[in-house]
Chain A
Amino acid sequence: QKEVEQNSGPLSVPEGAIASLNCTYSDRGSQSFFWYRQYSGKSPELIMFIYSNGDKEDGRFTAQLNKASQYVSLLIRDSQPSDSATYLCAVDTGFQKLVFGTGTRLLVSP
């Protein structure tokens, strides 16, 4: 079993809709969770992080964490074509060491 699992997609949503991206992880001891966005041909960039169970909102983005279910999600409200990218879920396994999922490709159509 991979440490961090994501559906590779693509996830296709129309402009203005809510995009929901999901991630599961295997290490119950993990404490910190991150979402990176990677445009095609570019490097990953951090967009959200979450430590506590529940929701964390930042603009159009909401990260959700459920440690009991070992589940992290990212919601993007009012999706825009510029949100089309691959979204990488990452888990801090300790000592600054991040493990990444393989990413979910999001396509937002005008």
Chain B
Amino acid sequence: DAGVIQSPRHEVTEMGQEVTLRCKPISGHDYLFWYRQTMMRGLELLIYFNNNVPIDDSGMPEDRFSAKMPNASFSTLKIQPSEPRDSAVYFCASSHGGLAGELFFGEGSRLTVL
């Protein structure tokens, strides 16, 4: 079975550019989460969806960040404009809502903003 698929795996961009990260959750999972991981702050929840509806976006750092889930098999996280402090690994995870806390993570997208 395919796991959570994220793209791109690595992205290097210049400050001010738009960045779009993509995620395909595991089929049948109705929760989708976007996390950001840095050495200093660890793994932070940015936003999560249930049945394609955003439930909690309180972790989104500011208006430069936006996320969408147009259907059950696709989600995007967009940063516009990007800044060097956005450099991090961005993980997408999905769950089926059975065991709360059993998240299946993608391999992550490593973002570097110069």
A7 → B minimal CB distance (Å) = 13
B43, A49: Cβ atoms closer than 8 Å: no
Q: B97: which of A88, A96, A99 is its contact (CB, 8 Å)?
A: A96
Q: A102: which of B31, B41, B101, B103 is its contact (CB, 8 Å)?
A: B41
Q: How far is the CA of A32 from the CA of B41 in the complex (A)?
A: 22
Closest to B38 in A: A102
Provide the B78-114 mask, 1 if CB < 8 A to any CB of A, else 0. 0000000000000100010101111101111000000
Contact of B42 with A by CB under 8 A: yes
Q: Given that A43-B91, A95-B55, A97-B48 are known contacts, is A49 also in contact with B106, CB under 8 Å in the complex?
A: no
Q: How many positions in chain B have a CB within 8 Å of any CB in the partner chain?
A: 24
What residues on B are CB-neighbors of A46 within 8 Å? Answer: 101-103
Q: Number of contacts between A and B (CB, 8 Å)? A: 54
Secondary structure call for the A interface: strand
B56, A101: Cβ atoms closer than 8 Å: no
What residues on A are CB-neighbors of B108 within 8 Å? Answer: 43
Q: How far is the CA of A96 from the CA of B30 in the complex (A)?
A: 11
What residues on A are CB-neighbors of B101 within 8 Å? Answer: 32, 34, 46, 49, 90, 92, 96, 98
Q: How far is the CA of A75 from the CA of B101 in the complex (A)?
A: 20
Contact of B45 with A by CB under 8 A: yes
A49, B42: Cβ atoms closer than 8 Å: no
Provide the A90-108 mask, 1 if CB < 8 A to any CB of B, else 0. 1010011111111100000
Q: Given that A88-B43, A102-B41, A102-B42 are known contacts, is A97 also in contact with B103, CB under 8 Å in the complex?
A: no
Q: Given that A46-B102, A49-B101, A90-B101 are known contacts, is A100 also in contact with B43, CB under 8 Å in the complex?
A: yes
Q: Give the 10 A-B CB pairs with smallest separation, nearest first.
A: A102-B42, A43-B105, A100-B43, A34-B101, A92-B101, A92-B100, A96-B100, A44-B105, A32-B101, A98-B101
Can you list 8 contacts pairing A with B, beta carbon distance less than 8 Å?
A44-B91, A44-B105, A46-B101, A88-B43, A96-B50, A96-B95, A96-B101, A102-B41
- Give A contacts to B, CB under 8 Å: 32, 34, 42-46, 49, 88, 90, 92, 95-103
